[in-house]
Amino acid sequence: MAKVRDEVRKCHRCGKVKPPPRDRSTVICLECEQSTQCRHYLGYHEGCAKGVDIDAISAPLDGMAYRQPCRYMSSSSTDTWTPVPCEQKELYSIEELKQDDAEMDIRMANTIKTLAVAAEVKLEHAGKDWQGVKPCPVCDGKLHLSHSSYNGHVHGRCETEGCVSWME
């Protein structure tokens, strides 16, 4: 088990051991992400905010995956990664990435606080459809919840802008 944990802690790109909080959540270290993650990348299906046709400039990585200019791409069959050039590429700073990590930690902690409320709803309304409002454990606002009799999932969304929301 310790060997698996050590592998998770290593950056998939450079092989260095990642310090917390990156050692638990991302595949690459802060420095490797900073050197590859473009701020214009919107996601696999959304593409580029600058209008670059990512598919047109992507290059084969190992026959199954493609190297993109926008972000780090790994492959099980190769240890090397060469970025694809892009004139519109604009990298995040280390400080911006650290701030993003800190914000993600706060969001995760807030979501975990709401799991106790979700568990209560599941117990109270097992086998029944239900919708209601409870106090938000994060901001004391109104947490709108729904429970499904079909699968027991609880969905929640706080009225406070930027607080918590989730779907199971």
User: Residue ranges of the domains in the chain?
Assistant: 95-166
The CA radius of gyration of the chain, in Å to the nearest whole number, is 20
Which pLDDT score, from 0 to 100, does residue 163 have? 94
Cis, peptide link before residue 85, omega less than 30° from 0: no
Residues 6+ apart with CB under 8 A from 45: none
pLDDT in the model for residue 69:
72
pLDDT for 61 equals: 60
Q: Which residues of the chain have pLDDT under 70?
A: 1-8, 24-26, 59-67, 71-83
Q: Which two tokens stand for residue 69?
A: 């200019």
What pLDDT is attached to residue 4?
47
Give the pLDDT of residue 31.
86
Query: Model pTM?
Result: 0.68
Detail the DSSP E strand segments found in 26-152.
41-43, 47-48, 59-60, 66-67, 130-135, 142-147
